[in-house]
Structure 1
Amino acid sequence: MNLPYKIRLSIYLTGASALLVLIAFLVIYGVANWTVIRNIDKDLELETKIHQNQITLVDGKIRFLHKDEWEEAEHKEVQFHPIFIEIVDKEGIQLDKSPNLGSFHLGFRKDHSSSEKGYNQFFINQEIRQMQIALKHDGKTEGYLLVATSFEEAKNLLYNLRIILYVLYPLILFSLFLTMRFLAGKSIQPVDKITKMAKLISQKNLDKRIPLPQNNDEIKELAVSINDLLERLEAAMKREQQFTSDASHELRTPLSVLKGNFEVLIRKPREQEEYIAKVRYGLEEIDKLNSIIDQLLALARVQKDAWDIHEIDLESIALEVTESIQKSEGRKINFTNRSEEPLYVQSYEKSVFIILTNLIQNALKYSKDDTEVSVAIWKENSTGILEVKDKGIGIEKEAQSKIFNPFFRENSPELGKVQGSGLGLSIVKKLCDHLGISISLESEKGQGTSIRLIFPDKTGF
């Protein structure tokens, strides 16, 4: 149904209200109908009790006492609530009657007797309400007393009530729809304002925010959520712009060096050794480019990989990574499990492989060949901890808060001798953020660096 939201909301609210109004009308009519019939039945019950005491047996036949009372005006007025009374035997044959019945007979129901509830039937082309009770003598039913009164006035009253309800119902529904439409339009005005403001925000003005309503309601929560989303988008955009700028700079530098070397080579003929030296230098720059591109691709995949968080054996992974790097680098790496038992954590194997590989390679890169790098794992309560420690050149305190930024490299003589792209630790940080792993860093210039990973508490899963 391609209708505006306020129209749909109006229809839904009107439909619900229509059902409630219909139920209310049915209850009103039901109560009115029950009240009218109940009042008539009470009148008939009263008349029945009065005339039941005026009946006797005469020569074995049921007769009224004081028959002259039927000459009273109340029994001759047919126009105003007439009461019809008739006595019949067990077979329904008339034995006596009130004068206003004339030559007519009331309807008889064989073996029916009730002094509390009457029934409707037609009499002389009109509807009447009638009550029938058994007349007993010595416990034996001798006949029946029939008492009736006109039901036309009550029927007309109920008919008029139905007509009024039939006419009112569509009018009420139409009025409800207009009211609901007006209220729905009013209620979504704050949403319309938020929508119009959101349409004005684009990539060029991500710093703009939606004004917050004064009331602390769902509309304000919506505005706060959209502003939070804009905050994240703005931060992501800035990171993307910074990443693109840094990446282009890092790639442009070795390309410029390669281009310069090749331009020098072709200016004039040179000795073979000089050609070989320049080509080797070019190959080194190409290797650097490949390393940067690999790291950039790894950093880009961090955002796209599917994460299957489950229980993994941290000791097994740490051993595998440590042994692999020892073989490829030819350096000694000391691994210990201080818990002296298998250590299981909630994480993702591939990501932990990348994290540990980057940390160990980084530790080896900034340590002397004769110094040892250590990897340790242990358990504190239900939390798994992994630590990579080296005795390398260390990090200045001013730079420690920046080393996880992409392409950041500390400006020091020692670092100038070590090749790197400044992406390894930023990849570690992004992966840890995705996995909920906390990172703590301790480093002292000239003494070494210790990076500790604190895995999420297993009880939280």
Structure 2
Amino acid sequence: MKIRTALTLKNSLVTAAVFVLCLSLVYVASDRIRSKTFFHDLKSEAVTKAHLFLGGQVDSEVMQSIYLNNRKFINEVEVAVYDTSFRMLYHDAVQNDIIKEDSTMIHTIVANGDMEFYVDGYQCIGMLYDYGGMKYVVTAAAYDGYGYDNLASLLNVLIVLFVVGLSLLFVSGYYLSRAALKPIRDIVAEAENITATSISRRLPVKNEKDELGELATAFNDLLSRLEESFNSQKMFVSNVSHELRTPLAALMAELGITLQKERTPQQYRVALDNVMNDARRMNSLIDGLLNLAKADYGKEQISMQEIRLDELLLDVRECILRAHPEYRIELVFGEQDTDDDRFVTVSGNLYLLSIAFSNLIENNCKYSPDRTSFVQISFWDKWTVVRMSDNGTGLSDDERQNMFKLFYRGKQEHVAAGHGIGMALAQKIINLHQGKINVLSDEGKGTTFVVEMEHL
């Protein structure tokens, strides 16, 4: 069942229940008003007949004759008059006697005064009537045929009103729910046209402040993230294919040339050295790509721990110098006004942060004539700040802007081997830890990387 049909049915059921309740209250209220009005009229008629009889203005036989003649055509009031000792003084029709008075009823009326009751659908009253200083008991009974006919007509009107009103409410509710859900149909229709090849399309947003607008906006944001991810994947695959093709082509060419003819042991050794260098280059590229993939994990997917950045930098320095003895790394720890270790302690992943700082420091050393990196750690406010500087030739504006692009190599790519992964990887890792990374450089004045991370 579609939502619009379900909404229409539920709305109609609720409306029908409320409608029935309201119409029932109207019917009950009308019946109460009819009953109260007829009892009042019945009392007035009883007083009139009792006054006429007791005053001797009309003979009792004439009054009985009028009653018997009238009751054939209209619902005439049957009146009886008793004294307080239960002696009947007058009765319109003893043979009919709707109320069937007895001594108990008479004594009750004398003791309590007026009373109203029903007998087989007839409305009846009993009352004390004071005339000429004497008290009399007057009873009256009649059938409110006119009132019941009006009540039956009202019931028919209410039933018709219920059926017609509910039908109109159902139809109007259906079209209102259809109109209210039209934006959802538009969203569904547009979403069905969005595929991997047309992921740049977006859902229509007519009103950003209503619920459907918020849903469409959230879905569009999701599409934007997916589009960015797809584009990154396409670029990544394209660049990886290009980067892997170069060492593979060199490796195959070297092996092809070597196998063309017999060579001396020395020539084979040279060829194998070249093959080994190409293999190392491929291994380095693959390691960088794997680390790049790890840096793309969400923060909740990697293990985090408390890390002292000064100790981490000491470990990174030792690892770099072990692999490159010709490098020089000068660590400078800023003066601290407190011995609290929290100012140099951050929450992060030890492996990833080690890779990030290794790449930044190695970049200093590789492109500096004296192969030196100056590393300074300090803190201010809520940030721990690490600055890594060199005395190299610096970067141009274009190189500085593209420094953190994947596979980008600057004008000095001939100075040192690389794949253009290290800087992009370092930025991803720092961003993953909600840190900031900036590069400060002018041509001929060296380069400084500034990393800021929130300490504990």
Q: Could you tell me how far 1:431 is from its partner in structure 2?
A: 4.3
- 2:230 match: 237
Instruction: Determine if the alignment matches structure 1 residue 184 to structure 2 residue 177.
Output: yes
C-alpha displacement of 1:118: 3.8
Give the one of 143, 146, 156 matched to 1:153.
Answer: 146
Deviation, structure 1 residue 358: 0.9
Residues 52 and 145 in structure 1, CA contact (< 8 A), matched pair in contact too: no
2:405 alignment partner in structure 1: 405
Q: Which runs of 5+ in 1 are unaligned?
A: 56-63, 137-141
- 2: distance between equivalents of 1:384 and 1:225? 33
Following the alignment from structure 1 to structure 2, what is the Cα–Cα distance between the partners of residues 66 and 346? 115
SS at match of 1:82: coil
Q: 1:373: which partner in 2?
A: 374
1:329 partnered with 2:320: yes
State the distance in 2 between where 1:437 and 1:230 align: 26
Please list, as runs of the form range in 1=range in 2, the aligned pairs for 1:322-401 lying within 5 A after superposition.
Answer: 322-330=313-321, 331-336=329-334, 338=336, 340=338, 341-343=340-342, 349-350=348-349, 353-355=351-353, 357-367=355-365, 371-380=372-381, 383-393=382-392, 394-401=394-401
Is the CA contact (8 Å cut-off) linking 1:107 and 1:121 kept in structure 2? no
Q: For 1:255-300, what per-residue CA distance to the aligned partner results, in whole angstroms no more than 9, with x for missing partners?
A: 2222222222222233334433433333333233223223323333
Instruction: Tell me the distance in 2 between the aligned counterparts of 1:146 and 1:346.
Output: 103
CA contact (8 A) 1:45 1:131 kept: yes
What is the distance in 1 between the residues matched to 2:243 and 2:452? Answer: 29
Q: Structure 2 vs 1, CA of residues 214 and 334 (structure 1 numbering), >3 Å: closer, same or farther? A: closer
Residue 212 of structure 1 contacts residue 224 of structure 1 at CA under 8 Å; is this kept in 2?
A: yes
Equivalent in the alignment of 2:293: 300
Structure 1's 193 and 53: CA in aligned 2 closer, same or farther, altered over 3 A? Answer: same
Give the match for residue 106 of structure 1. Answer: 99
- CA distance in 1 between partners of 2:391 and 2:345 (Å): 31
Q: Structure 1 residues 377, 298: CA separation in 2 closer, same or farther (over 3 Å shift)?
A: same
Deviation of 1:240 after TM superposition, in Å, equals 1.8
SS across alignment from 2:312: helix
Separation of aligned partners in 1, 2:48 and 2:343: 97
Describe the shift of the 1:80–1:232 C-alpha distance in structure 2 as closer, same or farther (beyond 3 A): same
Q: Is the 8 A contact 2:313 2:357 kept in 1?
A: no
Secondary structure (helix, strand or coil) at the match of 1:451 reads strand
For 2:178, the aligned partner's letter is: G
Distance 1:225 1:244 in 2: 29
The one-letter amino acid paired with 2:363 is K
User: d(CA) in 2 for partners of 1:88 and 1:379?
Assistant: 110
Aligned residue pair count: 430
Residue 310 (structure 1) shift: 11
Pairwise CA distance, 1:395: 3.2
1:169 maps to a residue whose letter is: F
Q: Over residues 231-250 of structure 1, what are the superposed CA-to-partner deviations in whole Å (9 max), with x where a residue is unaligned?
A: 44333322221111111111
CA RMSD of aligned residues (A): 4.3
Question: 1:104: how far off?
Answer: 0.6
Cα distance 1:418–1:309, how it changes in 2: closer, same or farther (>3 A)? closer
Give the C-alpha shift of residue 85 in structure 1.
3.9
Distance 1:424 1:311, change over 3 A: closer
- SS of residue paired to 1:104: coil
* Greater shift in the superposed pair: 25-34 or 338-347: 338-347
1:308 CA drift (Å)? 7.0
Aligned to 1:424: 422
**2:41 maps to which of 37, 40, 43:** 43
Q: 1:83: which partner in 2?
A: 77
- Report how far residue 312 of structure 1 moved: 6.0
Q: Provide the secondary structure at the position in 2 that maps to 1:180.
A: helix
Q: 1:263 to 1:117 in 2, by over 3 A?
A: farther
Q: Give the match for residue 139 of structure 1.
A: none
Shift of 1:432: 4.5
After superposition, the C-alpha distances for 1:151-208 in whole angstroms (9 at most, x for unaligned) are 3433333334334434543444344333333333344444334433332332323344
Residue of structure 1 in register with 2:447 after alignment: 448
- Alpha-carbon contact 1:441-1:451 (below 8 Å) kept: yes
Q: Give yes or no for contact 1:437–1:455 (8 Å, CA) kept in 2.
A: yes
Mark the CA change 1:402 to 1:89 in structure 2 (over 3 Å): closer, same or farther: farther
Shift of residue 94 of structure 1?
Answer: 6.5
Q: Distance in 2 between matches of 1:307 and 1:87?
A: 97
Shift of 1:11: 1.9
Show CA shifts across 1:384-414 (max 9, x none): 34323222534332222222221122222xx
1:12 aligns with 2:4: no
Given residue 198 of structure 2, which amino acid in structure 1 is its aligned partner?
A: N
- What is the letter of the counterpart of residue 390 of structure 1? S
Report what 1:288 is aligned to: 281
Q: Given the alignment of the two structures, is residue 128 of structure 1 paired with residue 122 of structure 2, yes or no?
A: yes
**Segment of structure 1 superposing worse, 356-365 or 100-109:** 100-109
Listed one character per residue, the Cα deviations across residues 1-53 of structure 1 (whole Å, up to 9, x for unaligned) are xx2333223223322332332233223223322322332344356567x5799
Which secondary structure state, in structure 1, belongs to the residue aligned with residue 402 of structure 2?
coil
| TM-score, with length taken from structure 2 | 0.76
Residue 451 to residue 75, structure 1, CA distance change in 2 (3 Å): farther
